[in-house]
Structure formats: C-alpha cells, structure tokens
Amino acid sequence: MTTASKGAYHTGVYRNVFSELGYEDNVIQEKLERTWAELLNGDPDVRIYYPMGDDMGYFLDTGNTDVRTEGMSYGMMMAVQMNDKNIFDRLWTFSKRFMQHTEGRYKDYFAWHCKTDGTRISQGPAPDGEEFYALALFFASSRWGDGPEPYDYSVQARQILRACVHKGEEDEGDPMWDPATKLIKFVPESPFSDPSYHLPHFYELFAERADEKDRSFWKEAAAASRAYLHTACHPETGLSPEYANYDGTPAPVQRHGDYRHFFSDAYRVAANIGLDWEWFRADPWQVEQSNRLQAFFRDIDVADYRRYTIEGQPFDEPALHPIGLLATNAMASLAADGPDAEHFARLFWNTPLRDGVRRYYDNCLYMFSLLALSGQYRVY
C-alpha cells in the first residue's frame, strides 16, 4: 500500500483501501449502504438505532440499556457521512431536548448518559461526545446548510466548543481541555486524560471553524495531542492505556476501576491515528505506530483478543468488544505501510457486524472503519 505525501484534506483524494485490494467499487458501496441500513433497521439482534416519536431517535448502548453522548454523536457523524439528514436531525433533536444542559455548571455540555425515555442518569459530561457533536454539526452545516434553531448547525457547534474552552472563566464549571497543556480531559473535573479522546484531525478543523478568538488554541491543541500520543502509546507494542496522565503515563487506579491497561476505550486510538494520517499526514510517527500495533495483533486470533498490559502481557479476561478491536486494527491500515496492513483490511472485510447484547460499541467502530477504509470518511 502506498501513501501520498499530502493528506486528503489538502488533495481532496481519499484512499479506498478496499478498492486497492481489488474489491469492486459497486460491491464496496453496496456493503457500506447495507451496513448502515442494518444499524438503523436491521435484525433486532444487530440494529442499534431506534426511532422515537415523529422527530427523534437514539443509538442504544445495548450492553448497558442506555443512551450515551458517545453513541449519539457517533451516530450523527455516521449520518452526515452517509448524507442521511433525517437520522442526523433525529439524533440531534433527542440530544438537544434531553441531554444538553441549559443552565448551571454544565451549561452547553451534555449529560453523558440517559434512559431511553430521555431521563438523565448522570448529569456530568464525557468530552468525547462534545468533540464528535461539534465536528458532526460543522459537517452538517457544510453539506446541508444551516436552518432554524436548533438546526443552525454551525452556530450550535461553536456554542459547544466555546464552553469546552472557556467554561469556568466567567461562570461556574470546568473546561474540557486543560488550559496549561491544551490536552483534553477524561471529564472536566479530572486531572488526567483518555488517549482515545485525542482527535488532532478534528482540532485542525476546529482551528478553521470555531470562534476566531479560539482558533490558535485549537491549532495548539492539535499539535499537543499528536505529541501526547507519542508518550501514551508503548514504544514496542503500540498499546495505550484507557486513562493516562498528561505526561502519557497510565493514570492511577480510579474508584470506579483500573484503567491502566489496554482495553475497550483504548481501541479507538488506532482508528484516530489512522484517520488523522489519512486527512492530514502531519506526523510520520503515526506510520511507525500503526505498524507496531498491527504487528502486535497479527498472530492473535480475533476470538482470543483479551485485556493487555501496555507492555503486551495478556490477562485472563477476554476482550469485551473483539469485533470493535478488529475494526480499529483494520482502520490503522490507513497509516500502516507494513506487511500486516493488507491482512487486517481483508480480515475486517470478511467479518460481519456483531450481533447480541454487546453489539453497540463494536458496531459503531465497525461502521467508522468501513467508512474510512472505503474512502467515505470525509471532511465537509
């Protein structure tokens, strides 16, 4: 697999890895559209989207039977990539109506999870939701234009990002990015980060579309996140912890668990690095990192995926989301140029969506990988 010297943001040309491997374009497109349809309206044991009333809908975390800003914002990003304005607006309407705070210390942030009737379970936000909401809204503005509130997408996106940067300066609350390091926090009140939250390719676009006074901040945040991932990813295995300090070292054990190891959250790091390379090609380290990660997993069967220390030692605990991990390992092929890139892309192509109780997270990562590897995860 070859890589161009400039990313798709600059060239407008997006790699179709599946086409490079010999799959026909019409077959690729049919698989993409069929997968989206299955997520929305497929078999009850596969679908993750559920309509609500005349103008809303939600992505269900089937393993926890709740609705999360992670899944809602992911669904909006998928919908704008698939040019599905109806689903986008339904997800956004639910998010605005039930999840976004209108006052208090979390004003303009979103309660990170709620029941399927919209009743909030927790009030606090999870910053990965806010960053996906913001970019999905900017893309919607570019694809479909701004409409009346709350469908004035670009206005809504800037409002979210304004809170993320400036919360606490003139009102109560905490910002979602650490002002000193320019690194995204795990939650606004935490003194550490989550490597899988780091989306420098998003911040590059925020640096063009956010409030003008904040554009230099987002440019600095992109550079800071790329540098941070160098320290958060192990230099030999490529594995990263779920939570990490601002220096990249694994964060201490939390009251709600031990997140010093490579497990569910951390899978997304490979996908994020792959997409950053595809869009911007700003950091050659990302190629080496993607090769390392794929080399670690090359001889491990998907059914044998487990929790690992970042040094690569397996626990007895199996992976909770093995298809999701396969999907992100495959998405790393956007950056990887080693002998394992083709292997993972083909293995992913031949693997169906996950069914069963734990399918939500796997199938979200599956759809993102399918979009990316078919050249359809684009900047709008």
- Candidate list 265, 278, 340, 362, residue with the active-site label: 265
Amino acid letter at 101?
A: H
Whether 152 sits among the annotated catalytic residues: the reply is no
Distance CA 114, CA 129 (A): 13
Which tokens belong to 16?
A: 């179709």
What values do phi and psi take at 105, rounded to 5?
-65, -20
How big is the chain by its Cα radius of gyration, in Å?
A: 19
Distance CA 32, CA 356 (A): 21
Contact 243, 254 (CB under 8 A): yes
Q: Give the side-chain half-sphere CA count within 13 A for 354.
A: 25
Whether 265 sits among the annotated catalytic residues: the reply is yes
- Stretch (H or E) spanning 276: helix 268-279
Contact 297, 322 (CB under 8 A): no
User: Residue 116 CB: number of other CB atoms within 10 A?
Assistant: 14
- Candidate list 61, 70, 108, 194, residue with the active-site label: 70
Catalytic positions, please? 70, 265
